[in-house]
Amino acid sequence: MESMSVMASDMGYDPRDGQTRDQIEGTTQEDRARDLGMMSEQLKNRSMEVFFEVGEDENLTYPWAPDVDFNKRTELDCEGKTTTEVNKDIYSLMEEGYGTIVLQNPRGMHSVGVGILNRLNLIVEGSIGYFGVGLIDGPNVRINGRVGWSCGENMMSGTVVIEKNAGSTFGAAMRGGDLVCKGSVGSRTGIDQKGGTIIVGGDTGAFSGFMMQRGRMVVCGNAGKNLGDSMYDGTIYVGGEVRDYGVDAIPAELTDLDKAWLTRKLTQYDLMPENGVDHFTKIVAGKQLWNYDNLEPNEKKLIL
Amino acid sequence: MCGIAGLIHRGKSSGVGSEMTSMLTALKHRGPDSTGFAIYGEPNSGDYVMRFKVAEQEDMASGYDMGDKIASRIAEVEKRLGEHKATIKSKDEATPYAMRYVISHDGDTEAMARYIEDVEGTEILSLGNALELIKDLGDANVVADQYGLREFKGTHGIGHTRMATESDVDIRSAHPYWAFPYNDVAVVHNGQITNYWLKRRQMEKKGHRFMSSCDSELLAVYTADNLANGATLEDSLKASIEEIDGVFTYLVATKDSLGMAKDTMAAKPLVLYESDDMIAMASEEVAIRAILPQEIDTYDPYDEEIRVWKA
């Protein structure tokens, strides 16, 4: 449970300086969401951005998920294996109790580590191709190479850290967890993002945050054209230049809470810029594409 | 979907034939219908390499007299070469329907090429001092074995694995396309061109010929037109971003360089690897890893990006 409790507190509400525990616990989830620029209605289900109670012992594992020991480590050589064989081997190793699996020689293999619904430390020694670690719910993944298109697509929870560059549609339709690329990523990053956090150490391409619905995206470098086009909600932070804004994406004031959150997240992944985070631009939805005010909260949920 | 790949060695010749075969084999899942190579050997001293076909692969099963027809078409091609005062120096027949001739010729190559293509069923696949353009049905291994490509040495090359979408599964619709009549220029493309008919009509009015109804051929003709009008390869690639509609990533190879262009939507993939010795690019990283298994740094070019590298 060690990694999951770390993850839960990462995703959770950040105790603000100067506040007592009672004060923090006295605020509602709605208040915290509003403070962070999120929607105000109460959200349910793990597919949404859930703010965990500090210290709460959430039961995040699936009932049928094998119990693994993070100290039990093994290596899996992808040489000569198909993607299906590698993914089946990962499952078999988890059933044997291995909690740390190191993949060797992936050499651009597609769909590696897709659909892992369990706690696991997955270390990839090399680069993977398309759809890497998509649809995951729980594992902590570290990739020492590059990833192709659609890495972390539909990811539900866990952390994925990529040391080099990533392809397009990075974190598409992502729902939760932290997806971090220390290099630059391609186009359409976080398209249809529904939750979680995407962090890019370098630049991102065109149409990033397109139809973003919820969650947060941080780009330390520059962003390509049409950033945040048709976004419904969510927040994008850009440290460099924005080539242009998409329809209904507008800059917003970077609050102290934003700065604190950025500082914590970027420090956590060793991506903190030397000049701090004060220069970041915050981008949110202008909410002109939908008449939000005339909608009931339940109707808003249908849109989002 | 289609897969494209390109490779250029800086300042030296290498086993481009076998390298391109490995890259395209790794991309087989992106297009199993046909495979094509445009690879560039050391430019020879004034002689031209002419690759042409006198029939489609499927024609070979169309009748008892096909062999006779092919023989008569080849004889007619040779006769017409003679009429244009071209001397045939060597002949290779990898298949009954596709030939490779080395010829010497001092005259107007465009006029000669048009005259030869007037022979029934005949299409010149490539003509140039360095370019060898090979394309046929099947995957990269099949085509490489059929045409003996694994031993081919050269500086650079581009290739394509095709998943037929808007035109037939045949050699005339397979990539790469030679930028007729511009010697030594070939194009491979992954994507869809939505103003194909408009641009095709414009090009046909200028006198350019189209041998297929595949939208990718437009890029070869378009590039040839630009180069003929004095544009550099870089100018042509840049102009195409504005003038060609659709989603596309395409590669162009010339006698001594290789270029890439990506459309405004960046909707078609390309992964790039650059080092002091070589540049490799492909629709998927797995193709680059097929020739460079060691850990390397690769990246995706962005929207509207064009690049040109010299051999």
- Structure confidence at residue A291 as a pLDDT band (50, 70, 90): low
Query: Are A190 and A168 a contacting pair, CB within 8 Å?
Result: no
Angle made by CA atoms A256, A257, A261, in degrees to the nearest 5: 115
Q: Do A146 and B297 touch (CB under 8 A)?
A: yes
Which ranges of A134-186 would DSSP assign to H, the alpha helix? none
At which residue do the structure tokens 């059933």 appear? A95
Give the nearest chain A residue to B270 (CA atoms): A167
Q: Nearest-CA distance from A136 to chain B in Å?
A: 22
Average pLDDT value for residue range B176-185: 91
Looking at B108, B129, B150, the residue that finishes a domain is B129
Torsion angles phi and psi, residue B260, rounded to 5 = -135, 155
Query: Are A228 and A209 a contacting pair, CB within 8 Å?
Result: yes
A-chain CB neighbours of B294 within 8 Å are none
A-chain CB neighbours of B289 within 8 Å are 107-108, 127
Select the residue from B285, B291, B297, B304 to test the A interface by mutation, using most A Cβ atoms within 10 A.
B285
Residues B204, B281, single domain; the answer is yes
B271 close to A (CB below 8 A): yes
- CATH of residue B196's domain is 3.60.20.10
Of A20 and A198, which is predicted with more confidence? A198
Q: Which of B1, B2, B173, B310 is catalytic?
A: B2
Q: Nearest-CA distance from B10 to chain A in Å?
A: 24
Residue B135 included in any domain: no
Q: Which tens digit of pLDDT belongs to each residue from B208-218?
A: 999 898 999 99
Residues B78, B158, single domain; the answer is no
Domains of chain A: 69-303 (2.160.20.60)
Q: Which tens digit of pLDDT belongs to each residue from B32-66?
A: 999 999 999 877 778 999 999 999 988 888 778 88
Q: Do A129 and B293 touch (CB under 8 A)?
A: no
Residues B221, B122, single domain; the answer is no
Burial of residue B144, with CB atoms counted within 10 A of its CB: 0-12 exposed, 13-18 middle, 19 or more buried: buried
Residue B166 included in any domain: yes
A-chain CB neighbours of B302 within 8 Å are 186-187, 205-206, 224
Q: Do B302 and A224 touch (CB under 8 A)?
A: yes
Q: Which tens digit of pLDDT belongs to each residue from B230-252?
A: 999 999 999 999 999 999 999 99
Residue B147 included in any domain: yes
Instruction: Tell whether the model's pLDDT for residue A303 goes beyond 70.
Output: no
Looking at B109, B129, B149, the residue that finishes a domain is B129
B214 is catalytic: no
β-strand pairing of B306-310 with B3-9: unpaired
Residues 6+ apart with CB under 8 A from B65: none
Q: Do A205 and B300 touch (CB under 8 A)?
A: yes
Q: Looking at this predicted complex, what is its ipTM?
A: 0.86
Residues B150, B282, single domain; the answer is yes
Instruction: Tell whether the model's pLDDT for residue A25 goes beyond 80.
Output: no
Q: DSSP letter at A95?
A: H
- Structure confidence at residue B181 as a pLDDT band (50, 70, 90): confident
Closest CA to B32 of B9, B2, B7, B56: B2
Q: Do A205 and B266 touch (CB under 8 A)?
A: yes
Residues B247, B98, single domain; the answer is no
Looking at B129, B158, B180, the residue that finishes a domain is B129
Give the nearest chain A residue to B291 (CA atoms): A107
Residue B134 included in any domain: no
Residues B198, B295, single domain; the answer is yes
Helix (H, G, I), strand (E, B) or coil at B75: helix
What residue numbers bound the domain in which B275 lies? 3-38+141-310
Torsion angles phi and psi, residue A11, rounded to 5 = -75, -15
Q: Which residues pair with B158 in a beta bridge?
A: B6, B38
Percent of chain A with pLDDT strictly greater than 90? 71
Q: Which tens digit of pLDDT belongs to each residue from A36-92?
A: 555 444 444 444 444 445 455 555 677 788 999 999 999 999 999 999 999 999 999
Residues B151, B123, single domain; the answer is no
Give me the pLDDT at residue A71, please.
95
Q: Do A108 and B284 touch (CB under 8 A)?
A: yes
Q: Which residues pair with A140 in a beta bridge?
A: A121, A159
β-strand pairing of B48-53 with B3-9: unpaired
Q: Write the residue in A108, A144, A165 that is nearest to B299 by C-beta.
A: A165
Q: Nearest-CA distance from A60 to chain B in Å?
A: 35
Query: Are B175 and B162 a contacting pair, CB within 8 Å?
Result: yes
Q: Nearest-CA distance from B273 to chain A in Å?
A: 12
Integer CA distances (angstroms), A149 to A107, A127, A158, A204, A266, in order:
15, 12, 19, 13, 23
Q: Do A108 and B293 touch (CB under 8 A)?
A: no
Q: Do B295 and A168 touch (CB under 8 A)?
A: no
Sign of the dihedral defined by the CA atoms of residues B221, B226, B228, B229, in that order: positive
Q: Do B293 and A225 touch (CB under 8 A)?
A: no
β-strand pairing of A178-181 with A157-162: parallel
Q: Which tens digit of pLDDT belongs to each residue from A192-203?
A: 999 999 999 999
Give the nearest chain B residue to A164 (CA atoms): B297
Average pLDDT value for residue range B120-133: 92
Instruction: Tell whether the model's pLDDT for residue A141 goes beyond 70.
Output: yes
- Is residue B176 reached through a cis peptide bond, with omega within 30 degrees of 0 on the bond before it? yes
Average pLDDT value for residue range B267-290: 95
Residues B28, B50, single domain; the answer is no
Select the residue from B29, B284, B302, B305 to test the A interface by mutation, using most A Cβ atoms within 10 A.
B302
Number of domains in chain B: 2
Q: Write the residue in B266, B267, B286 that is nearest to A108 by C-beta.
A: B286
Instruction: Tell whether the model's pLDDT for residue A9 goes beyond 80.
Output: no
- CATH of residue B96's domain is 3.30.70.260
Residues B16, B71, single domain; the answer is no
Q: Which tens digit of pLDDT belongs to each residue from A170-195?
A: 999 999 999 999 999 999 999 999 99
Average pLDDT value for residue range A154-164: 95
Mean pLDDT of chain A, nearest integer: 85
Q: Do B271 and A148 touch (CB under 8 A)?
A: yes
Instruction: Tell whether the model's pLDDT for residue B256 goes beyond 50.
Output: yes
Residues composing chain A = 304
Q: Which tens digit of pLDDT belongs to each residue from A237-272?
A: 999 999 999 999 999 999 999 999 999 999 999 999
Residue B136 included in any domain: no
Give me the pLDDT at residue A12, please.
42
B294 close to A (CB below 8 A): no
At which residue do the structure tokens 């993944």 appear? A141
Mean pLDDT of chain B, nearest integer: 93
Q: Write the residue in A105, A168, A206 that is nearest to B269 by C-beta.
A: A168
pTM: 0.86
Residues B168, B266, single domain; the answer is yes
- Structure confidence at residue A1 as a pLDDT band (50, 70, 90): very low
Of B288 and B311, which is predicted with more confidence? B288
Residues B246, B156, single domain; the answer is yes
Report DSSP letters for A232-275, one per residue.
-S-EEEESS-BS-B-TTEEEE---HHHHHHHHHHHHHTT---TT
Of B17 and A28, which is predicted with more confidence? B17
Which helix (H) or strand (E) covers residue B35, if one does?
Answer: strand B34-40
Q: Write the residue in B266, B285, B302 that is nearest to A146 by C-beta.
A: B285
Give me the pLDDT at residue B127, please.
92
Residues B177, B216, single domain; the answer is yes
Query: Are B203 and B222 a contacting pair, CB within 8 Å?
Result: yes
